[in-house]
A = this chain, B = another copy of it.
Amino acid sequence: MLEELKKQVLAANLMLPQYNLVKFTWGNVSGIDREKNLIVIKPSGVPYEELTIDKLVVLDLEGNIVEGDLRPSSDTPTHIELYKRYKDIGGIVHTHSTWATIWAQASKEMPALGTTHADHFYGNIPCTRKLTEAEIEGDYEGNTGKVIIETLGDREVMAIPGVLVSCHAPFTWGKTPKDAVVNSVVLEETCNMAYHTVTLNKEIESLDQYLLDKHYYRKHGSNAYYGQK
């Protein structure tokens, strides 16, 4: 079942080591079939070089395993929370990529400081509050999803397709699993640039709104003119 989605999820997972976003088994990508309301996700702790299509796990949105012999990623409840709340999301990525994790560990929103950022993300990348002791000791991974939702609220999540979880690491998403990985790559690079920009010029502030608008809408929406039609 879901053969096409599984291929996409496998390919997207294999992009993580290719783009140097993960070490060992860290990180996971999932995708969703919105008609069947089923998700496909990487199994927990399986090395990328051993990952094959038949090792992927299929679950419903209550977290029940529908297909697969292996345990799903331990972060699965976080993915499910986001899929349930935001209906436009087609794929989700979680990594501990170096620069995005640095901003998450610093518990800082990552500011939009240039057009590299604005080409992809329509504003600062938010950082969640810390989870409370009760949230951590309870349904930790589900509560990680809930604190992301608390942070994002009703905003258009496809315009800023990523978040930093305080003391933890980033999550990104996209229309497809591959799009979500591309957003992880861009988040990693913009976090790298932003670290060095703010340490080079401590007075620097987020981009003017009109430059953000210009670059974002140059690539997104009905008036976009970047790329081929």
Contact = CB atoms under 8 A, between A and B. Distances in A.
Interface stretch (A1-9, A39-47, A149-157): A39-47
Interface of A: 23-26, 43-46, 70-71, 74, 96, 98-99, 101-108, 113-116, 130-131, 133, 136-137, 140, 167-169, 182, 185-186, 189, 192-201, 204, 207-208, 210-211, 214, 218, 225-229
A167 B193 CA distance: 12
Contact of A196 (B45, B137, B140, B195): B195
Given A24-B185, A102-B193, A107-B201, 5 more contacts: A23-B186, A102-B200, A115-B169, A136-B210, A137-B214
Nearest to A196: B102
A216 to B, nearest CB: 12
A71 B228 contact: yes
